[in-house]
Structure 1
Amino acid sequence: MAPSVAELATQVTDTADKVAELKLNAAAKQDNGPSYPFYYPYYDPNEKFPVTQVYEHVDPGLKADPAKPHLLTPEAKLSHLSPYLGTEVTGIQLSQLSEEGLDELALYAAERKVLIFRDQDFKDLGADKQIELTKRYGRIHRHPTSGNVQGYPEFHVVYRDAEHDRLKEILPDTRINRTQWHSDVSYEKQPAGTTFFFVLDQPEVGGDTLFASQVEAYKRLSPEFQKRLEGLRAVHSAHEQAEASRRRGGLVRREPIETEHPLVRRHPVTGEKALYVNQGFTRRIVGFKIEESEYLLKFLYDHIAKGADFQIRARYQPGTVVVWDNRVTVHSASGDFDSVERRHAVRLTPQAEVPIPA
């Protein structure tokens, strides 16, 4: 007697489960652990951070030579990914830049928004040198909920493998996709500026990062609409991030805050105006009623997310370091790789100025 439809469905499900199990077992047998175990995410339940105090920030890009002779040397090779943002750079080592070259890096990151440096030795410098280089761009943020490195709370560790799927915890399967545009820790009084992200382990395919220019997103709006947005302020909140951490039994090292920022901000070096709202942390527009705020924010989020012509996809290779300006961009991880594969990266996040209204 031929099997029923229900029996066939059960057989298909059983076969799929066995295939998944075999993949996991194969990955486990071949897996020797992270390439850089020093940077494995560390969570100390007793670790607490004080309230973040405002400090005076002067952007190094203000001191830079506009011609950038110490950064864009004859050995540097550039490949622009878009007219609006994103440049791949080869032929230079970030670790070998002079002080003038590091200042020029801040300026170039502000101008091109996202810089993708290939074949870097940055991951092998050691924690102290990595921090020393990065803190030139501002006080390094200590994340209140994420994994860091034992003894080095300045590091924000991004880690995912078969046993550790943080992305799924943040954006569960109840979402159609895992894209969530955001600017890092925009709820802080002094949010992130020139940001460093270096890759330790990367899937063979996928696990990239999407970036969008908030400058170009602003420019695409009509002049009248731009004028209406300027002067508005929006609330950015850390509460949802903290509550999500508590729900999964994670840490909250510093009590969450809400901060008002201009909806359109001006970059202190380039003078460019940029939208400063993001789906991850912006909650409401000050002075608007709930429906008004929700309607306008949804329009802006859709505008940013649909702007494929002012977005890029940063692909990672061994030795890749991405330097981007969090003030004038938003980004999203792409959860498009098999969870048995490891993706391991580290972010160092200098805090910049209190956002300047347009």
Structure 2
Amino acid sequence: MPPNTESVQVDAVQDVTEQFQKKLNLRELAHKGRYLVYPETKYPELVAFEHTDPGHKGDPEKKSLFGAATRVIESTPHIGTEIHGVQLHQLTEQQKNDLALLVAERGVVFFRKQEIDVYQGRELGKHFGPLHIHQNFGHPEGLPEVHVIHFDEDSDQTHFKYFSHQDGWHNDVPYELNPAGLTFLKIDTLPSSGGDTMWSSGYAAYDKLTPAFQKFIEGLEAVHSGFEQANSAIRAGRTVRRTPIETVHPVVRTHPVTGWKALWVQPGFTRRIVGLSKRESDAILDFLFQHIAGGHDFQVRLKWEEDTVAVWDNRSTFHNAIFDYLDVGLRHGWRITPQGEVPYFDPNSKSKAETSVRRHTKGPQGDSYNYLL
């Protein structure tokens, strides 16, 4: 079955269009005002496809990636690695594969002082899967695969006035048949303070549950809904370009590269557990949502610098953007979202805690760093 067919069709049109069109500088546009377009184009429905993750080709030692770095820092024991001295738009094929494996293991990897532009980011993203095109959001002219972050003092703050960030944890587009896999976000403009992002490890969230509770939730399935996003677009008078859907995915999923179990429900889009009464489902989901939000020992918080890129795995992490800056200044960036496999649970898979071994390694400049395999 073909992958994201609409993305292939759009690529062909863009290849021709961009020969006659000046490339956009999104940072410059953001400082001039709102620049997104909201076309009335209708997209064909997405179909499930088989995904082969490039992380399978990654070197367990990540020699091509770590060997090119000037420094590698483990952000926390459970999640997050920061790599210095590597430019993402210059990665070799093997470095891309090593990155896919590293992100699968560590959840999120940070790169600072990145020169990559949105067009190079789009090409890089294609290595990791078909690029998702959102059915509701606006996008830069000619770049439908690009999701833009653009908030400042002029943004509508109604939603955030009493919003609790405990409810902000989510994965990207989990309601799709093939939800997001590896994801890239570059922030190029920041307010004077605020605008951090947090990630939480789905591996460690699973491992922190008792064996009895792990056994109970394994094999359960939950409904993830795209209706709220669609209804928001409708209220704003914008076109919903595909039919909104709800999709059933496992509560605990197995990562195709690591083979580790990860908790995979979150308050952003998970609505109910299949086969349970509403009271039962609400009670279980409320516990799991609080478990994720309160898991400070398996979270990492990034204080962005301009031109930082975060690369994370939507299959094994949750993330939460902190909207504490809306009366301070502009925060702007762009995201590329390759799709991964249809989520599944393998009852023979193991948890990260059951399989991980800590290795101590010397980096190219003599820096010591640890990483988990």
TM-score bracket, shorter-length normalisation: 0.7 to 0.9
Q: How does 1:24-39 map to 2 (within 5 A)?
A: 35-37=27-29
Q: How does 1:107-146 map to 2 (within 5 A)?
A: 107-123=101-117, 126-127=118-119, 129-146=120-137
1:41–1:147 Cα contact (<8 Å) kept: no
Say if 1:41 and 1:231 are closer, same or farther in 2 by CA, change over 3 A.
farther
- 2:140 is matched with 149
Q: Distance in 2 between matches of 1:180 and 1:357?
A: 25
Say if 1:196 and 1:269 are closer, same or farther in 2 by CA, change over 3 A.
same
Q: How does 1:9-158 map to 2 (within 5 A)?
A: 35-37=27-29, 41-73=35-67, 75-123=69-117, 126-127=118-119, 129-158=120-149
* Structure 1 gap segments, 5+ residues each: 1-32
Shift of 1:176: 4.5
Shift of 1:251: 3.5
Give, as a single letter, the amino acid of the residue that structure 1 aligns with 2:325: F
Secondary structure in 2 matching 1:122: coil
Deviations 1:274-312 (A, max 9, x none): 011010000000000111000000000000001111111
Say if 1:309 and 1:98 are closer, same or farther in 2 by CA, change over 3 A.
same
Q: Distance in 2 between matches of 1:38 and 1:141?
A: 23
Q: Distance in 2 between matches of 1:34 and 1:269?
A: 34
Percent identity for Structure 1 against Structure 2:
45
Say if 1:306 and 1:214 are closer, same or farther in 2 by CA, change over 3 A.
same
- 1:25 is matched with none
Determine whether 1:314 maps to 2:302: yes
Q: Distance in 1 between matches of 2:66 and 2:207?
A: 28
Deviating more after overlay: 38-47 vs 69-78: 38-47
Say if 1:311 and 1:85 are closer, same or farther in 2 by CA, change over 3 A.
same
Between structure 1 and structure 2, the one with the greater Rg is 1
Shift of 1:330: 0.4
Give the count of matched residue pairs: 320
| Cα RMSD after superposing both structures | 1.8
Deviating more after overlay: 43-52 vs 215-224: 43-52
Shift of 1:340: 4.6
- 1:22 is matched with none
Give, as a single letter, the amino acid of the residue that structure 1 aligns with 2:214: Q
Give, as a single letter, the amino acid of the residue that structure 1 aligns with 2:340: A
- 1:9 is matched with none
1:38–1:149 Cα contact (<8 Å) kept: no
* Structure 2 gap segments, 5+ residues each: 1-24, 347-373
Q: Give the TM-score normalised by structure 1.
A: 0.85
Q: Distance in 1 between matches of 2:88 and 2:66?
A: 11
